Chain A
Amino acid sequence: MTDAVLSGFKGRHLLRISDLNAAEIRGLINTALRFKEVSEREIKKLPTLRGKTVVNLFFEASTRTRTSFEIAGKRLSADVVNVSAQTSSVTKGETFKDTVLNIAAMKPDALVIRHSSPGTALYASTIAGCSVINGGDGAHAHPTQALLDLLTITERKQTLENLNVSIIGDILHSRVARSNISALKMFNANITVCAPPTLLPPKAESLGVRVTHSIAEAVEGADVVMMLRIQTERMTQGLFPSLREYSDNFCLNARVMKNAKKDVIIMHPGPINRGVEIAAEVADGPYSVILNQVTHGVAMRMAVLYLLCGGAES
């Protein structure tokens, strides 16, 4: 990896995958692979970001992503502050803009933003005066999740090129799906999305993917299967009749896995609903890399924080 690629991140934002090119994604993966080893040490700390401040500004509940960024920052010796903010409404409370400006006035070096509304991280990046990292904005993007998924795939498959990847579940509401599709397409993946029509974006083929409603078809021949969480509120919105019926048609269980390739890997961004979109025996089974994804989340977020706030000049 050239130094030019790595040093080019400093002071930038990470808002969506299309902000990056393939060489930069490879650079992030290679950096994360080096950081992964830090988490195996007895003293899990590098002095790299000493004196830097990272603020996790979360407008939406999150355990995994917030903790992952927090641990990533701390393992690089950054000061990490978690802020749980209220989602603003038109009539009451501080606006999103004012909250961002107030946090920005405290001069952090990086701002990680999670929000239920799409475009919020992009807007924050225009006013914050520091690096903004999108920790998930509505159904739009979750770039660090896609990057850690690519890291996981790379480690298992030794390549990112020309893979058959199937994404199964609530694609319509999934920022994880959008960011992964965007990232995997840069590496010529053949992507299949699988969901009931009501949980697919309109004109889903326009995203450059194959569409199927059959989980058997989606799993067959796939090198990578990404499962997505189904939320019960989608049921009350009339998008599908019951968890039972959803699970009958879209649960990744041992029966469906019989058609899978012998070296398939099963991924899930979490939190998983055991027995709904994924059977316990598959989630805990030999093909599952779900917990590796979580481990890689810390390594990838260390890489992102390091390259955006620290720089790679050393």
Chain B
Amino acid sequence: MDGVFDVLVKDGVIAEIAPAIRATGARVIDAKGLVVAPGFIDLHVHLREPGQEYKETVETGSQSAAAGGFTAVCCMANTNPVNDNGSVTRYILEKAAQAKGARVYPIGAVTKGLEGKELAEMGDMKRAGIVAVSDDGRCVMDARLLKNAIEYASMFGLTVVEHCEDGPLAKGGVMNEGVISARLGIKGIPSTAEDIIALRDIDIATYSGRRVHIAHISTKGAVDAVRKAKEKGIRVTCEAAPHHFTLTETMLDKFDANYKMNPPLRTAEDVAAIKRGLADGTIDAIATDHAPHAQWEKELEIDHAPFGVVGLETALGVSLKLVEEGILSLSALVALFTCRPAAVFGLPGGALKKGEPADICLFDPEKKWIVDPKGFLSKGRNTPFAGMELKGKNLLTVVGGRIVYNPADL
């Protein structure tokens, strides 16, 4: 339901949505010319705490999210120690309660220590508050263990999120294997490393009759596989990251590690396939895979620099290009940031409805700005979009009725 409405927030929940509301004593925010949307939900971020607080903390990550219009983020388990038991989950949630930004929903590990050998204590973590399980950063290479994980997790209503990458096939790789890697002499990660695991996982989900979610889809092969599976009614969902539908492998030309992420930037054909997948509903969510690193780490040799880029504060502006290009309507794009990701993990929020928690963002779809990493609230400055002109910026974020981001003082 799109239109021009007033939204009344009272006691942290949405009290009323109507064409004109009279509420005496209420603080009025004039959203003329702005889009009032449900707060964005990011299914895939790395907040680095505990263990790597020099890269990001739950607090800075939560505030960076709020700046980008997100009111909830799901943080991956590859912390140190790994989030593979309830005490780590509770520690993250304790930090999140003090963070004054977006809500934080931890994702637990599939296997102890992300080692791919034994299942982690999913029940313990579920009671502590996880919303899904994933070994993200690594693939669960043992197919039997993955089958067990999908079946076991279903008992707790948890979805397994897979980082689809055949380990041995991708080993030592830095960028997409192809024409550009051939010329630059950079070690390649073949697209088939993602395709075959996506196909395997869809097959295991089919066999088990249970759900699987594919993280950061980056290849035409994987998008096509998900589309075919959905046509057959198989319970597979997937997400795509803004860099994967915006940039290609040619960006590696200067050996700049700010373009090094996993999965890597692929070809123009893959970018086109992801856009088609977003347009036809094959892809369920836009997720950032926000992966902050210290500047010195990204200045290491391309072989040694860690994978990953930040994305929370650029996701909206970069994704709005899809609307500009006519690939998505504005409301379809907003759905990919809100109700559709909420449905993937069964999270609250994602819609502006009477009685729901007041998680809201206000963005200006026309505001032009140039990406300057120095202005990020994230500790990470490792963006592949530095210097790019974007159109569209979040201006105000409300979480549970409380304004957590409002730099322009609307």
Contact = CB atoms under 8 A, between A and B. Distances in A.
B269 to A, nearest CB: 13
Contacts of B302: 117-119
B121 interface: no
A202 B301 contact: no
Interface string B233-248: 0000000000000000
Interface stretch (B175-183, B198-206, B369-377): B175-183
B303 interface: yes
B303 A116 contact: yes
B292 to A, nearest CB: 15
A96 B188 CA distance: 22
A96 B178 contact: no
A292 B255 CA distance: 34
A89 B301 CA distance: 9
A96 B179 contact: no
A96 B300 contact: yes
A207 B178 contact: no
Interface in B173-199: 177-179, 181-188, 190
A90 B183 contact: no
A137 B303 CA distance: 11
Interface of B: 177-179, 181-188, 190, 254-255, 296-297, 299-304, 306
A178 B300 contact: no
Given A201-B181, A201-B182, 13 more contacts: A87-B301, A88-B304, A90-B304, A97-B300, A117-B304, A118-B185, A118-B186, A118-B303, A122-B255, A139-B186, A175-B185, A206-B182, A207-B182
A206 B179 contact: yes
27 contacts: A90-B300, A95-B296, A96-B300, A96-B304, A115-B301, A117-B303, A117-B304, A118-B185, A119-B254, A119-B255, A119-B301, A122-B254, A122-B255, A123-B255, A123-B301, A139-B185, A140-B184, A140-B185, A141-B185, A201-B181, A202-B188, A202-B190, A203-B178, A204-B182, A206-B182, A206-B183, A207-B182
Contacts of B190: 202
A275 interface: no
Contacts of A120: 255, 301
A161 B299 CA distance: 41
A207 B303 contact: no
A95 B306 contact: no
Contacts of B186: 118-119, 138-140
A2 B301 CA distance: 38
Interface string A164-179: 0000000000010010
Contacts of B187: 139
B185 A95 contact: no
Given A95-B296, A122-B255, A123-B255, A117 B182 contact: no
Contacts of A137: 185
Mostly, the B contact residues are loop
Contacts of A89: 304
Contacts of A87: 301
Q: Which of B178, B301, B303 has the most CB of A within 10 A?
A: B301
B127 to A, nearest CB: 35
B301 A96 contact: yes
B33 to A, nearest CB: 42
Closest 3 CB pairs of A and B: A119-B255, A139-B185, A201-B182
A199 to B, nearest CB: 12
A95 B178 contact: no
A95 B183 CA distance: 26
A88 B300 CA distance: 8
Given A118-B255, A119-B255, A122-B255, A207 B306 contact: no
B179 A88 contact: no
Contacts of B299: 95-97, 123
A140 B303 CA distance: 12
B259 to A, nearest CB: 11
Interface string A94-111: 011100000000000000
A87 B188 CA distance: 21
Nearest to A178: B185
Contacts of A202: 177-179, 181-182, 188, 190
A90 B297 contact: yes
A99 B129 CA distance: 45
A155 to B, nearest CB: 28
Contacts of A204: 182
Contacts of B185: 118, 137-141, 175, 178
Contacts of B178: 202-203
Nearest to A97: B299
Contacts of B184: 118-119, 140
Interface in A116-140: 116-120, 122-123, 137-140
A117 to B, nearest CB: 4
Interface in A142-166: none
B182 A95 contact: no
Nearest to B305: A90
B393 to A, nearest CB: 31
Interface string A58-102: 000000000000000000000000000001111000011100000
